Each structure stands twice: as structure tokens, then as C-alpha cells.
């Protein structure tokens, strides 16, 4: 009725000023995608709780950023789809920085150095990469081990099979059972398992190259990547990262 009265009197309504667009709200939580069967970076203890080196590092970074950190187990071979589909915000789980991944992922600066090692059983006769010819070699599907082996074309072509697994734990079980001749795996993971079962596994002197670990965000999340970089730099500077490293590896292996 009020609107009709105003119109009848011939009065013109003053246009209502548009409300200013709300300022972007800073993220109060970040969801970290990980392979929850990747010790000692991220895995479940006997109480089914997530623990690991990267878990502790990420939680500390979250505190410094003033955000709540949650962890979401994902299919590691689909990690880029999970990230760019906005189902997670960050990949933080022994993620190797590669040129191929840089096309779809924005990485922080490296925080850890890693190698792709070759693990065999202690009773195996294999002593070098050349002896992998005609053998079945395992890798985790979606891991940088796949790319590392394929880059060594001579060795890759000589294999009987490059067998891909959903996780390294299953691959190691097949290695112990004789269904694999060797496993190519991140040094940090391989040596962790070898240390857990003395006398069962042996690491070859030959390897498939050195690489760096970084934290991955979406290409457009430059602000988040910069904040994570600063948190990691601060943790390196004040010794917190070294302390976490020593707790998990017995020494400071953080890349400065």
C-alpha cells in the first residue's frame, strides 16, 4: 500500500545505494589431502589416529597461520583432481616437486630432500640397477617413483614389468612374499620400513635420483602458498622444524 501511495502522489523514490561487497573472509580452516598409509610422513597408529612427520609439521604451520588444520585421506593417484576440484586445499604428504606437477600445482619452497631408492629382500642376489633386467619392480601408483623409473629409459625398458600398487605397504608385502623382485620408493619411507624389520630388506647403492619435497596448493592460491612458505621459513629459523625432524628421523634433515 505504501508503494501505491507514493506512486499516486507522483513522488519519485530515491534509488537505494547498493550495499558494498563484503570483504573476502580469510580462511579459518584448511583441508590437507594425504595418503594415510605413507609412514613416516603420514599414517595411522594402533589407535587409528593420524600421526607422522608431515602431520606434525602441518599442525605447527596451522597454529602459526591461525587456522584449523584437518586431514583428508585421498587416492594419491588422483591428488591433482582432488586439489583442483576444491575437495582439499593443500597436498602435504611427501609430495615431490616435479616439472610435470608444476603445471597443475603451486609449490612452496622445498623443505626436505629425498631420493628414489631400490629396496630388495636381504636374500636377493640383486646388487645394482643393471640386475633389474627382466625383473618385476614395484612402485606406488601416482608417486614420483613412477616418473623416476621411466626417466631411466634403459632400465625401464629392460624390466619385465613395472607393477603399480595403491600404497607402499602392500608393495613391501609382495616383495617379502616373492611376488616382486624390487621396489622403488622414497628413501624416507623405504629406510623407515627397512629399519622396522632388520635383516629382511636391503637398500641398493644405486638409486633413481634426488628430489625435493614441497607443499602443494592450487595454482591460484598464491596467498596461501606465501603464508605456508613464511611459516616453514620461521619454523626452520627458530629450530621447530629441526626438533620435529629429530623426533621422527633421529636427526635434523630439514632442507634449509
Evaluate if residue 64 carries a pLDDT over 70: yes
pLDDT given for residue 179 in this prediction? 97
Rounded mean pLDDT, 61-83: 96
What's the half-sphere exposure (Cβ side, CA atoms, 13 Å) at 245? Answer: 17
pLDDT tens track for 216-243: 999 999 999 999 999 999 999 999 999 9
Tell me whether residue 195 is exposed, middle or buried, using C-beta atoms within 10 angstroms of its C-beta: 0 to 12, 13 to 18, 19 or more.
exposed
Q: What is the model's pLDDT at position 217?
A: 98
Per the DSSP assignment, residues forming a β-bridge with 112 are 213, 254
Express as a percent the part of the chain with pLDDT over 90. 80
The grid coordinates listed for 160 are 619385465
Per the DSSP assignment, residues forming a β-bridge with 44 are: 50
Assess whether pLDDT exceeds 50 at residue 57: yes
Q: For residue 220, what is the enclosing H or E element?
A: none
User: Minimal CA–CA distance to 221: which of 104, 59, 93, 66?
Assistant: 104
DSSP state of 164: E
pLDDT digits (tens, 9 = 90+) for 99-133: 999 999 999 999 999 999 999 999 999 999 999 99
Grid look-up 612458505 returns 229
DSSP characters for 121-162?
ETT----SGGGGTT-EEEEETTSHHHHHHHHSHHHHHH-SEE
Q: What is the per-residue pLDDT across 170-214, written as a single tens digit (0 to 9) for each?
A: 999 999 999 999 999 999 888 888 888 889 999 999 999 999 999
Over the stretch 154-166, which tens digit does the pLDDT of each residue have? 999 999 999 999 9
- Give the per-residue pLDDT at 25: 36
The Cα 214–Cα 93 span in angstroms is 9
Report pLDDT for 27: 58
3-state secondary structure of 206: strand
- Greater confidence, 251 or 162? 162
The x, y and z cell numbers of residue 82, run together, are: 582432488
Averaged over 10-14, what is the pLDDT?
42
Angle between helices 222-237 and 240-249 (to 10 degrees): 80
Measure the CA–CA gap between 256 and 249, rounded to whole angstroms: 16
Q: For 100-137, give one letter per residue: b (16+ CB within 10 A) or e.
A: ebeeebbbbebbbebbbbbbbbeebebeebebbeebbb
Alpha-carbon gap, residue 43 to 86, rounded angstroms: 23
Band of the pLDDT at 5, cuts 50, 70, 90? very low
Question: SS3 letters for 22-66?
Answer: CCCCCCCEEEEEECCEECCCEEECCCCCEECHHHHHHHHHHHHHC
Q: What is the pLDDT of residue 166?
A: 93
Distance between CA 54 and CA 167 in Å, rounded?
Answer: 17
DSSP for residue 254: B
Provide the mean pLDDT of the chain. 89
The CA distance from 110 to 188, in Å, is: 15
Of all residues in the chain, the percent with pLDDT exceeding 70 is 89
For the chain, report the end-to-end CA distance as a whole number of angstroms.
Answer: 72
The pTM is what?
Answer: 0.76
pLDDT digits (tens, 9 = 90+) for 14-55: 444 444 443 333 457 999 999 998 999 999 999 999 999 999
Q: How far apart are CA 244 and CA 52, in angstroms?
A: 10
Amino acid at each position: 500500500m505504501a508503494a501505491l501511495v507514493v506512486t499516486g502522489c507522483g513522488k519519485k523514490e530515491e534509488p537505494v545505494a547498493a550495499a558494498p561487497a563484503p570483504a573476502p573472509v580469510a580462511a579459518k580452516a584448511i583441508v590437507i589431502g594425504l595418503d594415510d598409509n605413507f609412514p613416516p610422513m603420514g599414517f595411522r597408529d594402533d589407535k587409528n589416529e593420524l600421526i607422522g612427520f608431515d602431520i606434525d609439521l602441518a599442525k605447527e604451520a596451522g597454529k602459526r597461520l591461525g587456522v584449523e588444520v584437518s586431514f583428508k585421506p585421498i587416492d594419491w593417484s588422483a591428488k591433482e583432481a582432488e586439489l583442483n576440484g576444491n575437495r582439499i586445499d593443500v597436498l602435504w604428504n611427501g609430495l615431490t616437486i616435479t616439472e610435470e606437477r608444476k603445471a597443475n600445482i603451486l609449490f612452496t619452497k622445498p623443505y626436505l630432500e629425498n631420493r628414489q631408492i631400490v629396496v630388495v629382500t636381504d636374500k636377493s642376489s640383486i646388487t645394482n640397477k643393471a640386475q633389474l633386467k627382466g625383473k618385476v619392480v614395484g612402485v606406488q601408483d601416482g608417486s614420483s617413483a613412477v616418473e623416476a623409473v621411466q626417466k631411466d629409459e634403459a632400465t625401464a625398458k629392460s624390466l619385465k614389468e613395472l607393477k603399480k600398487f595403491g600404497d607402499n605397504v602392500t608393495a613391501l608385502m609382495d616383495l617379502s612374499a616373492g611376488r616382486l623382485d624390487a621396489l622403488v620408493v622414497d628413501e624416507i619411507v623405504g629406510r623407515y620400513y627397512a629399519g622396522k624389520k632388520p635383516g629382511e630388506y636391503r637398500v641398493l647403492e644405486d638409486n633413481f635420483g634426488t628430489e625435493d619435497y614441497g607443499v602443494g596448493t592450487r595454482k591460484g592460491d598464491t596467498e596461501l602458498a606465501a603464508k605456508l612458505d613464511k611459516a616453514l621459513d620461521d619454523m626452520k629459523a627458530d629450530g621447530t622444524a629441526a626438533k620435529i625432524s629429530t623426533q621422527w628421523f633421529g636427526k635434523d634433515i630439514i632442507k634449509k
